[in-house]
Amino acid sequence: MAEFTMELNEDQKQVRDWIHGFAADVIRPAAAEWDEREETPWPVIQEAAKVGIYSLDFYAQQFFDPTGLGIPMAMEELFWGDAGIALSIVGTGLAAIGVLANGTEEQIGTWIPQMYGTPDDVKVAAFCSSEPDAGSDVGAMRTRAVYDQAADEWVLNGTKTWATNGGIANVHIVVAVVDPDLGTKGHGSFIVPPGTPGLSQGQKFKKHGIRASHTAEVVLEDVRIPGSCLLGGKEKLDERLARAREKAKAGGGERVKNAAMATFEASRPAVGAMAVGTARAAYEVALDYAKTRTQFGRPIIDNQGVAFQLADMRTQIDAARLLVWRASWMAIAGKPFTAAEGSMSKLYASEVAKKVTAQAVQILGGNGFTREYPVERMHRDAAIYTIFEGTSEIQRLVIARTLSGMPIR
């Protein structure tokens, strides 16, 4: 019988401890400052690049960990340090996943290195899908991509919103409508190279949490890009559109995933791991506080009202991690998400992060409500997990439709 284990191997433990050390020594001391500044923490990203954490090689090694646990382990430790700074460090990864999931080998080799730059000249990338009127409803997307056959160029027009690193990125990955008659099946993903005329940053958002991560609109006005910048190539796109048109004529639904959906499905367990990291950080602060804070002559952890909260917090964090690990293992093993296990992991971990950070604030009482203690920031940061890369409501919809056999649009 094959051995079953849930214990990390020695190599994984070393990597985990290395990332944890960086999070403790570099990220945490800078967290409050960059949260207040609401700016991209370039010096911290550069430090991450110098030690090898912000690099294509690092993420490739974790992505191809045969157990599937490399990425969730790394995400948990980085976001244990601070969610805003960690998102600035890993935000490029969503664009990189978009290229890995949909691009050709040549596109992967050409563009992903340009997303990261070098330790002496770090760069970031942005994945642009959401629009002012098309967040959860990707079928309402209006950004258009029109092919100019004579010039072998694609022309992009529209406005993207909620883009991490939007406008400051070296490389932008943009999801756009190619055939509006096909709804979500008529979308394609495009690489916008550095310095392309017509792309500009719109509004930069001042956010409730993850304030060290840059979030902005991206405006596309007659943006012309080479035909080779269509992810996957035009032949592959034409074949997919032709199949979708045939299905539409026959009156049948097609469950071919569009480019944005493929990217989000691949990244959802990783987002769950981010939420686990934030929840664990808040729980540890609350636990330490409960053991040292004295009221009525004894530590407050001696009170069942506090102790039981901590017991529930730890139980929920561990359960969330197990769902994340299961989905990550299934993905690397090539097992289909027949019950939307990726969405399950993101849904549960996100809700746990919101709940646990709120409980941490409550356990610290008035101190938890001040910026003197980090749980206030962690509580603000945790709110994003139930919103970005598919709201909790969308995750439930995906799970329900998967279970019922209905098409996921």
**Catalytic center residues:** 389
Q: Alpha carbon 384 to chain centroid distance?
A: 10
Beta-carbon contacts of 388 under 8 Å, excluding residues fewer than 6 positions away, are 162, 271
Radius of gyration of the chain (CA): 22
Contact of 290 with 300, CB cutoff 8 Å: yes
Strand, coil or helix: 157: strand
**Closest C-alpha among 202, 30, 232, 49 to residue 131:** 202
259 phi and psi angles, rounded to 5 deg: -65, -40
Contact of 157 with 144, CB cutoff 8 Å: yes
Question: What sign has the CA pseudo-torsion 255, 256, 261, 267?
Answer: positive
Contact of 141 with 172, CB cutoff 8 Å: no
Beta-carbon contacts of 115 under 8 Å, excluding residues fewer than 6 positions away, are 56, 92, 95, 96, 123, 124, 125, 169, 170, 171
Contact of 353 with 283, CB cutoff 8 Å: no
213/206 Cα distance (integer angstroms): 10
Which segments of 119-179 are extended strands (E)? 121-122, 125-128, 144-148, 153-164, 171-177
- Name residue, tokens 């941490």: 360
